[in-house]
Every structure is written in C-alpha cells, then in structure tokens.
Structure 1
C-alpha cells in the first residue's frame, strides 16, 4: 500500500495554514502551538498506520486516538494515566473545559484571551479538521473535498467579526490548500514514470509541466480574484465602496491606538436631528434627582476639517472587571452612587460599533453579556457583535460634581503623558483662532480660568445666538466662519469650544449623548431624536474629563456651577456648591422658547468632510442618483456600441459607388474591382449576421451565405422586399468571398434595413427590447475578447515565471555541475 507520505505531510501543513485566520480571534499565539502539536500527532499517526498497511477505518481510529492523547496531554487533564491516556475522571474534566469555553465565549470580547477552555476547544476542533483533511486527501484520494473542513475554520472569524476579516489569513490558507492539490497531483503523475514531450524528447525532473504551470497560473489568478472581488461588492465592510465616503483612517493627530471609524457620529447625529418628526429613542429611569447628560460616544481626533470619531480599540468586557474604578480622590470633588435602567426603543447606529448610552463615571453594569466592552480611553460602552435594538440594561454610576476651587487646583499635566495627544491641533490651524484664544486667556493663570474664559465667550453679549441655520462664510474655514457669524447650534458650539481649548494647549474632546429632554414622568425620562446633543469635555490633571456645555440653554439642557450659563453666569448657587441646575424651556438668543430644533449642518464632521444639510440628510440621495445614472449608462453602452457599429458598416454604402466601380443601367450587374467595395459586402453580411444573433435567430458558421439566406427566409416566412434583400446580401457575400471578379447589384443598405424590420416584426417584444438595450452580438464579442485577453495575459505571466524558475532551478544547476 502506498503510504503517500508527501501528501500526508502536505495535508497537515495545509491544515495548520488554514488555521491562520484564528489569529484574528485570539489575543496571543498560544493556540498556534497547541494546534501544531495536535496536527503533528494526527499526521504522524496517519503515516504510521499506513506504514503498517492498515485499512482506512483503522487509520481513522489511529488518528482519533492520537488526537485524544495529545489533547489530554496539552490540557493537563487530572487523573490521566501516564498524563496522556484519559480516564473517566479525565472525561469529566473535558466536560468542565467545554463548559468553561462556552462561558468564555459569552463573556469575552475580541480578541479573546488564551483561557484553558478556549485552548482545549480550539485544539480539539483543529485536530478533528486535521483528521478529516487526512482522510479526504490521503485515504480517499480526494484532496479537493478537504477544502470544506478547512473552509469551516475560516468561517469562525468571519462569523464572530462584525467588520471584515483581513484577507491575508485567507490567502495563507488558500495557498496551503493549493499546495495540497499540487502535491497530490505530482504524486499521481510520478506513478507513470518518466515524462516525455509530444515529439518524444525526455523531460528533465527540474522542468515544469505545461499542464501544472497552467494550473498554477489559474490557481493564483483565482485566489487574487477571490480576495479582490469582495472589495468591490456593496455591503462588504472595509472595501473600496466604503472608502469612497471619506470615513477611512485619518492621518491627523489623535489617538493612534484605535482603528478607523466605523460610524460617523456627526453625520449620524445630524441625520437624526434633521428628521421631520420626533420619535422616542429610549427611556431612562434613575434615582439621581439631578442627572447630567446621558452619554454614548466621543470624537477626540482633530483634523483641519474638524473633529472626528474613531472606533473604540481599548475595550474590556463589562462582565470581567473591565470597568476601572470611577472614584476621584481630590478635594472639592464630590461623588454619589446612583442606579439607572435604560430601555432602548429606536436607538441604533446601523452598523458596528454599537454604542450604549450611559452616564459618565460608570461603576458597573447589569443584564449585559461579554460582547459589550468598556473603552477606558473614551469612557464609552460598545459592542462589535451585539446590536442595541430593543436592548434593556441597568448600570451603576457615580454622579460627580466639581467646585471651581477644585478645578483651579487641578494637577499639572505631564508633558510626556499620553493624554497630551488630546491637546494637539492641526498644523494648518487658522491664525484667527490662535489670536482670539490668546486674547481670551490673557492674564489667566490656571487651566480652569482659561477654560471658563473661553466658555464665557459664547454669550449673547458677544452676539452669539442659537439658530437652526448657519451663515455661509468666505474664510475657507468653517470654524472661522462660525466664530465670525456667531450663529449655530449644539455641534458647532461643542466643536468650537473644544478646538479653542486645544488651542490653549489643554486636552479637550467632543461628547455625544442626550439632554434630559422635555418628557418626564417621575424619575423616568423619555428621550427622543430631538434630545440628541453634543458638548465639550476638558481634561484636568488628577480629576479627569469634566463636561462643559457652551450651547445656549434649551429644553432639557443642564448648566452647572463649574460651567454656568454664559448668558447668566451669576445664576449658579455658589463657588463651592458644585451642583447643577436644569434650565427648562431655555430661551435662545433669537427669542425662541422651548425645544428649538437642531440644524444638521456642522463643520466638525468626521472623515474630513463638512456635515451640512445636503451631506447629512440628502447625500444618500445624490449617491443613489449617481448609482442610478451609472447603471443606466452601463446598460446603454452595449446598445450605443451596436448602433455605432451598424453606422460604421453602412457608412460606405451611403457614400455611393466607388470611382473604380463600373455602373450600368438600373438592374444591371456592377463589376466590382475596388477592394473597398468588397469590404462593404463583407460589412453588410456581418451586420446581417449580428442582426440575426440579436433577435435570437440561429446562424451557423458552417453554412454558406446562400444557405443561410434560404433557411432564414423559410424559418421566418419572409417574402417580398425582405426576402429579396436577404437573397441580395447572400449573393453579395458569396461573390465577395469566392468570385475572382465579384459582381453585385442592388442597394445592400436598403436590403439590410428591410431585413431588419422584417426580422424584428417576427420576434416577441422581449427579444426586440433585448436587441436594442443588450444586443447579444455585442455581449458575446466582449466575452470572447475578455476571455482570450485574460488567457493571453496569464500565459505571458506564466512564461516569464517558467523562464525564471528554469534559470534558477537548483536541480538544473546541480545537473550542470555534475556534467563538468
């Protein structure tokens, strides 16, 4: 019995390469070591069984036995005989490990840690895949079927990742599978002895087989297409289409530890605020008598176009002590623990990451599984797997108040601290902003006094007003336009203040969330899309991120003692109180009372773009219109191409007879001596054939033109002028093909038009429409050219590769050395 060791080793190696996608699931690479041991044991057992001439079922038992022994040894299972042979108690420990793996899957976020349960589950699963691959490739000699269990491994990261998986692990696994196919093919070919060419010349060992070379080229081309094609398909994340919206990874300052943004928070917020009707998004109940804003995300990267948000990248599961201690040990900072319940009715980002609204200073969560992570950099709860739709959860938090004295006494921020990243400003920051900030903070000595001066600037005394519209400017900077026109709404106020605080060299960012709203029953707040809000957060050393709301008061907004209303700074209850007061029915500077609607326009949008009414709410319409136009153009191209080709073919007939053509009396023969006229006869016949193909009339290249004309006349029951025109075209083509001195009579163009009208009249409406919009003659010609062109390109690339391989082949070099 042939042991096929080379195929068995290739099968084991291919299985290990197919497991590469698991690197996107685990935090470290311990799993790879476990898998290597398991696959090695299975492969060795299979080779040994075949060396003993065991049957296939015995080979299967040997590999399963080796798998159990290796898994027992790797798991350090208790009560195992000699540490490798499982007993009944060992099997019970296996069950415990499986239960532990299930719990780890439920509570862990990606990437998962190398827990004993997950390592046991992974090694056992990969071992079973190795057994199946060996049986298919070696035992059954069907290596192509082995691709199915290998593909099952790749399905794991595809299933658990909401975003797209890197194509590199797929390429590595695909190359392993191709290696297995090539090894099996070589093993089969070698059984037939020495190879010879068609002319009887012997083929050296180092020379590649033409068939195998073509197979390699097709294989690599297929892998390349499989990797590239999803990038151009709608709905595939992180593809070419998703990069067209400008949400790609930025190169401006900000936290570089996070991946590129998945959701543009500014655009999402603007789209909700621009909705023509108000609808409830969630309900929150809390025993806090005076809660601040409910918060869900931040934008902390500042580019020349404004603030932008990045997808969280520092998450730990909220169920695994992933929430840091929220307590602040600083004089003048008071904290009280409260509990809140949230029921989401219609709050959803549409795609990952999904954010959960919580109050700042989160202490703990309830009714949330391990798919929900806490990002300590942005103080936000998110998930890449679970949606917020219909979510109900609870959490504990510390309501925090600050005195002005405490903020003035905040610690100095270490210049080398990573928090300094949030104080960066673009290199092309407008000079007007620096000049204004320097004027505002002149004479101020503490961080808080400077921040307070910037906050006080956004007052009606400085002619700032809340408005649902903004004025266009000519400065080229949306920030400068807003500071000049002094008209805007919450997002613009939040971005402007955060930018100015950074210009003063202090960390600042923009937070997103909800105001208290205007609908309240007891301690339950019903928050709608009109309650969405944005404000500024400033970092103070030893204290953390402190909220400041520069937006003029409106219904549901909160003004605090440390961040009072810029229009009424004396309304606070004192310097050391640290409390907050709600401003119900706040009046904006324009004189409108109550819950004034938001304007979706904003200069601080992510992705380096400006969120305006057009881009925020109607951009999708322009994209849709562009897609429809592109689709219409794509459908029109074949028909236009067919019309141009028809006009080109008939152009010669419209110019009249050639000077070298002897014209006789009407109805007499024309002696054609000009090659151009012969070409016109061929062009007329080609147009006739394409017309028949377009209208789905069968045409055989094996028939002569006269036979084709006679058959079409009979099948379509043509008579009169169309039949005469068809006979004329057939005779002209025969004369042009076979006659030494071709002779034609009649107008070929008129004959073509009459035949076309007659053929179209005999076909159903669907065939006539297809002949106009998507003519089959054009599509078939394009398919043929694409196929032959692609094959030619692959063949040329293969020839270059074969030349290089033949020149650098070690076997050939050694053979040359042996002849010396």
Structure 2
C-alpha cells in the first residue's frame, strides 16, 4: 500500500524551491538557511494543528504563530522569553528592522551583502508565502492557486535585478510547483481508490497512466518553452547599454525612452573612451554662480573585487519637493542658493541628466525624472536626456578646514558607513594607508594626508596611456607606477579613504567649460571627469576632493579644503574660490613648463559608435510564467 505523503511538507519544500530566484539578489546563501528554518517551523506548526484536527482558521493561527517563533529564533532582539518566545519588545525590534530595510533598499544595489534588515525582509516574505501556499494547497485543496504567491517571489528579482534573472532559478521554482501539483494529484488518487487499465490490470498509484504521462510531458515542455522562448526571440534578450552612448537613434528603439541608469557602466565608459580625437559638444549650462563647481552626472560607489561599479539609483519624482540641504547644516559650512539653466545636446544619450550637487527645485522636467537624494543625481527609467532643456535651483556648500576637522565620524552601524567603507582587502593598500594616516587625529586630516600623497613631489604624473580598470590589482599597479588619469586618481583616493575607515565614493560629471556668452558655458567630452567625494558626519555630508593633477584637466577646480598641492607656491583662496572658468589655472603657469607636455584629458565621447540599448526582458519572463500557469 502506498504510504501517505504529507502535502504540507511538500508545500513547504516547494515554497523554498520557488524562492530560488532570490539568489540573484543576495551575495551569499544566508537568506536560504534562515528561510529554511522559518519555513520548517511554519510547516511543523501546520502539521501539529492538523494532527489536533483544528479548523482552517486554527491552522492559520498556528502557522502565524510558527512564523513569529521562527523569526524570533533567527532574528533575536535580546528581549525574548526562554530565548525564542517573542515579547512586545521583540515585535518592536522587528519593526525597527523593517524601518531600516526601507533605507537599506535605497542604499544597497544587487548583489546585496548579508544585511540583517534585508535578510529579515526576505525571510519574512518567504515565510508569509509559505503560510499562503499551505493554506491554499492543504487547507483549501487548491494547489494550482499556490502558484500565484510563488510567482510573487519571482517578481522581486525581476523588478530590481540589473541584468536578466538567470533561467536556472526559474526552472527550480517551476519544478517545485509541479512537484506540489503531482503530489496533490497522487494523494487524490490514493484517497479515491485503486486504478485499473482498460484490460483490468491493477495500476500502482505512482505508475503513469497514458493521460498522466501526457500531462507530465506537457508540464516539462511548458517549463522548457517558458525558459527558451525569451532566449530565442529577437528583442527579448540582452542587457541595456554595454557602454555609454549610442548611434543616431535614441538608444532604445523607442522615441523618448531611456533605460535603467543602473545598467550604464559610467566608470568603464570613462576609462575606455578618454582618447577621443574629436571634440563633441554635450551640454550648455547657464548659472548665476560666479565660480561653480563640477556639474554632476552620476555616482560610482559599489566597490567589489573587480573594481568600482554603479548601483541602481532610487528616488521620487523631481516634481515633488526635494530635500532641503539647509536643514541641520553644520557650523563652518557656508551655503548659497543659485539657479542654473541647462540645455542637453543630442550627443548626450543617457537616462541621466547633469545637475549641480544639492538641487532644491526643478522646472520643465516631468514626473518620469526621479531624484536620488543619496547619490544626488537625477535619472529616469523611461526618458532620455537627449535634447532636454530644464532649469533648477541648487545650494552650493563650501566648507572650512576647521569645520571638517571638527566633524565627527558617522556611527559604525549607519548605512553610509556600512556601504561606503566596504572594500576588498588589499595588503599593499592597507599598509600604505596606515603609514599615511599615522598620527592624524580626525577624519579631515586623514583625508588630507591621503589627498596630499597624490602629488608631483611624491612622483605622481598624469597620462592616458595606462591600463584601464579599478580593481585591487589595477589600483596596486597605479600606486606602484604613479602614472594614470582621472579615473585612477579618483578610484585610488576613494579606495584609500575607505581603507582609513571613512566613507568615500567616485563622482562623474563635467569640469567647468569655457564661457561663450556671459554666464553660459559649453561643456564637451573633453570636460568629462571623475573625482572623489568623502562623507563627513555632523550634518556636513559629501565633500568633493579632486586628486587628479590640476594642470592636466581643462576647467579644473580647487578649493581651500582641497587645494592644488602641486602649485609652485602656497595658495590660500577663500572657501570655494577657484580660477574663472577658461582662465589659466595657477598650477599650470610658466613656472612649470614641463606640464605643457603632459596628456590633456580628452574626455568621453557619448555621441557615436556605442551599442544601442535593448528593451527590458522581465515582461517576457513574467509572460512566460503566466503562460506556464495557464498551461498547467
């Protein structure tokens, strides 16, 4: 006699298999271990309730209690009774984790490290799906409907993943769903009675009848079609831009459409296309600020063993009220408000638009354009910057060295410290940083010690004829040869600052261009540039430092907190002071004629020759999954 198979435990296993696509989001498998524990507790609670012949609502309450116990065991807050029984303080702890997850979702990009708040959110979601699947498959005996909450799990990586979600996790989840259907079918047959063939021969419950065999073959074919069809049909595959820029079209095949800005590898494009012989006009900007700082385009702050990468931005429409940087500003920080008007040419083909740091209001931009207050960038998932005309108000902050020295280090548990100090361990870099910051008592003096290290006196020089890349090996080579261009100076300084335990990132944008009509400047590919931004606590925020030799960069900016360390004599400008745009930089004067022979940064060409963006692929995966459910 065929032994009874507990559909509840099969439903729990199928839920775990359906969660396989989350492997595309997390760096490690901690989430799966924690989810398995919680789902096992939920399944055990359901089995005990059914053993006691509890009604359906009693089974639901038992599973919810099991979910609470499992979460308490996996994510303890230190206030539990008997080490695993939740108390009101435990649920307050869960609320804090959920609140922190909202911030961490905006802070982290895939793949996500093991952050408690995001792990809690994932495990809570899987546990909740396990409750619903058990309720549908066992309590209501409707296992086919259980595919809907399973599909909800798959929609999470589809919505946030940079590239197409791998096919293997989808197949694993589909197999779990089919397993649940087959188990329910076998259980129904076993309960109904014995089966016979047309000749009267007894058929075992697991022996495939012609109809059942045909159904199983159709299920396998359905899964194969759902996986293979998006890979075979043109236009369904391929990521967005491999490089920045596109040809004569708008970059997507659809007029006015942009693409996911998280897919644009600004850093790789900057490193690979600096040697452009033709100068291309990209932006015209008009501002009432006499000496503006760099116009920002994007941020690169995801530091992995392979180097710096951009993460997916997030934010709300620019048509809403933007954060006011004047709130909570620290003493020693001077802020002034200005207004800028920008005209983007057809050569800048990106879902990012250039703005000065800390914009407070925008005009002539639709709600399709979003503002990421953390990265301080404006982006769109639907539109493109080509041909856009817009204006915005912004706050220009300048910092006194005394205020930066007095700034406290952000708390170690803060999101900015966790994310913006993360870096691979490179022994040579760690040793260098320890020597440079030895004896320094505050963050600013540590940063200045690192910043001052990138000087001509220490043997550093500018050249475009160097190896591309920002991995640990590339940075080590740059620090050894001491020859590089803006990407390597910016990445190296950010890496060293992070090694000192201070948050840092790389910003990409435009240096100051030449004034052509009063207060209007023209910015070309030769003005594209990368620099370092360092985070200071106490309400100060992100502060720019440009370690690239000033004489090599057209429109370079220097300040009182980050002066030109290669200048032939001491320069002490007022906070935020800089040479007028287009004027000769003091560090490039006649005192050092050898600098005239150096390579000049030719910028980044964005208008020609780049591959076209492709349409997003996740709708096809979703359609394939729905087709599979309909087929089954």
TM-score bin (small chain): 0.5 to 0.7
* Residue of structure 1 in register with 2:497 after alignment: 501
Tell me which residue corresponds to 2:332.
Answer: 332
Taking the TM superposition and a 5 Å limit, the aligned residue runs for 1:77-476 are: 199=199, 209-231=209-231, 236=236, 261-312=262-313, 314-321=314-321, 323=323, 325=325, 327=327, 329-348=329-348, 354-431=351-428, 433-470=429-466
Decide whether aligned partners of structure 1 residues 367 and 561 sit closer, same or farther in structure 2, where only a CA change above 3 A counts: same
Rounded Cα–Cα distance in structure 2 between residues aligned with 1:493 and 1:589: 22
Query: Structure 1 residues 164 and 373 mapped into 2: Cα distance closer, same or farther (>3 Å)?
Result: farther
Displacement, 1:340? Answer: 1.2
State how far apart, in whole Å, the 2-side matches of 1:411 and 1:276 are.
46
The structure number with the bigger radius of gyration is 1
Measure the CA separation in 2 of the matches of 1:491 and 1:467. 11
**Alpha-carbon contact 1:403-1:562 (below 8 Å) kept:** yes
SS in 2 for 1:273: coil
Is residue 545 of structure 1 aligned with residue 542 of structure 2? yes
The Cα shift of 1:440 comes to 2.5
**After superposition, what is the alpha-carbon deviation per residue over 1:623-681, rounded to whole angstroms, capped at 9, x for unaligned?**
xxxxxxxxxxxxxxxxxxxxxxxxxxxxxxxxxxxxxxxxxxxxxxxxxxxxxxxxxxx
Name the structure 2 match of 1:596: 600
Q: What is the deviation of 1:261?
A: 4.6
Provide Cα deviations, 1:365-419, integer angstroms capped at 9, x if missing partner.
1122222222222121111221222222221110111111111111232122222
Distance (Å, rounded) in 1 between the aligned partners of 2:593 and 2:300: 27
Residue 164 of structure 1: how far off its partner (Å): 5.5
Q: Distance in 2 between matches of 1:562 and 1:378?
A: 22
Q: Contact between 2:462 and 2:599, CA under 8 Å: does it hold in 1?
A: no
Deviations 1:3-44 (A, max 9, x none): xxxxxxxxxxxxxxxxxxxxxxxxxxxxxxxxxxxxxxxxxx
Query: Are the counterparts in 2 of residues 422 and 508 from structure 1 also a CA contact under 8 Å?
Result: no
Give the structure 1 partner of residue 485 of structure 2: 489
Q: Work out the CA distance in 1 between the residues paired with 2:171 and 2:348.
A: 31
How far did residue 360 of structure 1 move? 0.3
* In 2, Cα distance between equivalents of 1:425 and 1:176: 38
Q: How do residues 64-75 of structure 1 correspond to structure 2 at under 5 angstroms?
A: none
Q: Which whole-Å deviations, capped at 9, do the CAs of 1:693-718 have from their partners, x for residues lacking one?
A: xxxxxxxxxxxxxxxxxxxxxxxxxx
Q: Does 1:581 align with 2:579?
A: yes
Q: Assess if the C-alpha contact under 8 Å between 1:343 and 1:393 holds in 2.
A: yes
* Unmatched tracts of structure 2, length 5 or more: 1-105, 107-153, 182-193, 243-259, 612-632
Residue 491 of structure 1 and its aligned partner are, at CA, apart by 0.9
SS in 1 for 2:600: coil
- Rounded to whole Å, the distance in 2 between the matches of 1:316 and 1:510 is 23
| Cα distance, 1:393–1:175 mapped onto 2, change above 3 Å | farther
Q: What CA distance in whole angstroms lies between the structure 2 residues aligned with 1:345 and 1:206?
A: 68
Instruction: Indicate conservation of the 8 Å contact 2:561/2:575, yes or no.
Output: no
Q: Judge conservation of contact 2:527–2:603 (CA < 8 Å) in 1.
A: no
Comparing 161-170 with 518-527, which one deviates more in the overlay? 161-170
Deviation, structure 1 residue 482: 1.4
Q: Secondary structure at the match of 1:506?
A: coil
TM-score normalised by length of structure 2: 0.57
| Residue deviations 1:449-505 (CA, integer Å, cap 9, x gap) | 2212222222222222222212799x9822222122221111111111111111222
Quote the offset at 1:206 in angstroms: 9.9
Deviation at 1:532, TM superposition (A): 0.6
- Please tell me whether the aligned partners of residues 412 and 418 of structure 2 are also in contact (alpha carbons under 8 angstroms): no
| Greater relative CO (CA pairs within 8 A, separation 6+) | 2
**Cα distance change, pair 440–173 in 1 and its aligned pair in 2 (3 A):** closer
Q: C-alpha separation between the residues in 2 aligned to 1:347 and 1:328?
A: 39
C-alpha distance 359-330 of structure 1, shift in aligned 2 (>3 A): same
Q: Distance in 2 between matches of 1:241 and 1:449?
A: 40
Residue 316 of structure 1: how far off its partner (Å): 1.8
Gaps of 5+ in 1: 1-108, 110-153, 181-193, 243-258, 601-612, 621-820
Kept in 2, the 8 Å contact 1:334–1:401? The answer is: yes
Secondary structure of the structure 2 residue equivalent to 1:408: helix
| 1:19-73 superposed Cα distances (whole Å, 9 cap, x missing partner) | xxxxxxxxxxxxxxxxxxxxxxxxxxxxxxxxxxxxxxxxxxxxxxxxxxxxxxx
Equivalent pair of 2:463/2:598 in contact (CA under 8 Å): no
TM-aligned CA distance change 1:175 to 1:502, over 3 Å: closer
Counterpart in the other structure of 1:744: none
Check 1:355–1:510 CA distance in 2 against 1; reply closer, same or farther (3 A cut): same
State the 1:556 CA deviation: 1.0
Task: Identify if the C-alpha distance between structure 1 residues 275 and 198 changes in structure 2 by more than 3 Å, giving closer, same or farther.
Answer: farther
**8 A contact 1:342–1:394 mirrored in 2:** yes
The structural deviation recorded for 1:272 is 4.2
1:639 counterpart residue number: none
Please give the TM-score of this superposition, normalised by the length of structure 1. 0.45
**Structure 1 residues 278 and 228, CA gap change in structure 2 (3 angstroms):** same
**Distance (whole Å) between structure 2 residues aligned to residue 210 and residue 237 of structure 1:** 37
- CA gap of 1:539–1:208, structure 2 versus 1, over 3 A, is same
Paired with 1:293 and 1:453, the residues of 2 have a C-alpha distance of 23
Distance 2:304 2:561 in 1: 29
Distance 1:204 1:497, change over 3 A: closer
- Asked if structure 2 preserves the Cα contact closer than 8 Å seen for 1:161 and 1:384, the reply is no
- For 1:525, the equivalent position in structure 2 comes to 521
CA distance in structure 1 between the partners assigned to 2:564 and 2:497 by the alignment: 18
Using a 3 Å threshold, how does the CA distance of structure 1 residues 231 and 327 change in structure 2: closer, same or farther?
A: farther
Change (3 A) 1:415 1:241: closer
Q: How much has 1:239 moved relative to structure 2? A: 7.0
Q: Any conservation in 2 of the 1:164–1:236 contact (CA below 8 Å)?
A: no
What is the CA-CA distance between 1:363 and the residue it aligns to? 0.7
Give the match's secondary structure for 2:320. coil
> Would you say 1:510 and 2:506 are equivalent positions?
yes
Question: Quick one: distance in 1 between partners of 2:340 and 2:468?
Answer: 42
Q: In the aligned structure 2, how far is the partner of 1:240 from the partner of 1:375?
A: 21
Native 8 Å contact 1:260 1:311 kept in 2 = yes
**Secondary structure at 2:436 match in 1:** helix
The alpha-carbon deviation at position 436 of structure 1 amounts to 2.6
- Displacement of 1:218 in angstroms is 2.1
Do the aligned partners of residues 348 and 260 (structure 1) sit closer, same or farther apart at CA in structure 2, a change above 3 Å counting?
Answer: closer
Question: Following the alignment from structure 1 to structure 2, what is the Cα–Cα distance between the partners of residues 429 and 265?
Answer: 24
Q: Which residue of 2 aligns with 1:794?
A: none
How many residue pairs match? The answer is: 422
Partners of 1:463 and 1:330 lie apart in 2 by 37
Q: Distance in 2 between matches of 1:520 and 1:396?
A: 22
CA distance in 1, matches of 2:291, 2:520: 12
Does the CA contact (< 8 Å) of 2:491 and 2:532 recur in 1? yes
CA RMSD of aligned residues (A): 4.7
Structure 2: how far apart are the matches of 1:241 and 1:273? 18
* Alignment match, 1:731: none
Distance 1:408 1:163 in 2: 42
Distance across 1 between alignment mates of 2:555 and 2:598: 9
Displacement of 1:211: 3.5
